Amino acid sequence: MKSFTSLSILIACIVIYTSTQAQSGRQSRCSVIIDPSYNGKVGIYNSAFKLVKYLKHSESKEEDDCLVFSIKGENDSMFFGTIGYAIAGSKQDGWIKKTKYIGLYSRAYNGDLLVYELPDIKSKKTVIKEYLVDLLPVISCRNGWVKVIIKLDNKTISGWLPPEMQCDNPFTTCN
């Protein structure tokens, strides 16, 4: 009987935790990469926003390894999540500053990339006909959608990409 009570309490805690995370929006993750061509250091900050350490692509023991980041939350200037090496796998939770070297690639290989005004397929959309080969900087994350900045023909477009149009793999083209 005691183990049944313990199990019931554990299940109740899991349900409450999951519900709380869903309400706070923290359950939705976005996977991004640190631009493989970025040679600088990425500062990792703790919950008090104090610098804990730096990471660099070149610090991995694996050749051609690069940094990947799973966004779990954000504020105006920083993302919170798990950062680590794609191959070596060493990971750490922390905050990193929102910068242009945090991004992903488009999966619209034949053009016709749909960029939405809001993270919702029912919102207004812009169609980009060209295939975009460059890393798209990510400035926000909501429910698996990422808000990106696209520079095209001396024009800057800001909008949301749905999960199925995102490529966060630095080693393949996700096709």
User: From its phi and psi, is residue 109 left (phi > 0), alpha (psi between -120 and 50) or beta?
Assistant: alpha
Q: What is the pLDDT of residues 78-113, one digit of tens each?
A: 999 999 998 888 899 999 999 999 999 999 888 789
Lowest mean pLDDT among 28-37, 53-62, 135-144: 53-62
pLDDT for res 174: 77
- Strand ranges inside 56-144, DSSP E: 67-74, 78-85, 91-97, 102-106, 113-116, 125-128, 136-142
Residues 125-157: tens digit of each pLDDT:
999 998 888 999 999 999 999 999 999 888 999
Find the mean pLDDT for residues 65-75: 94
For the chain, the distance separating the N- and C-terminal CA atoms, rounded to the nearest angstrom, is 52
Distance CA(157)–CA(82), nearest Å, equals 28
How far apart are the C-alpha atoms of 84 and 91, rounded to whole Å? Answer: 4
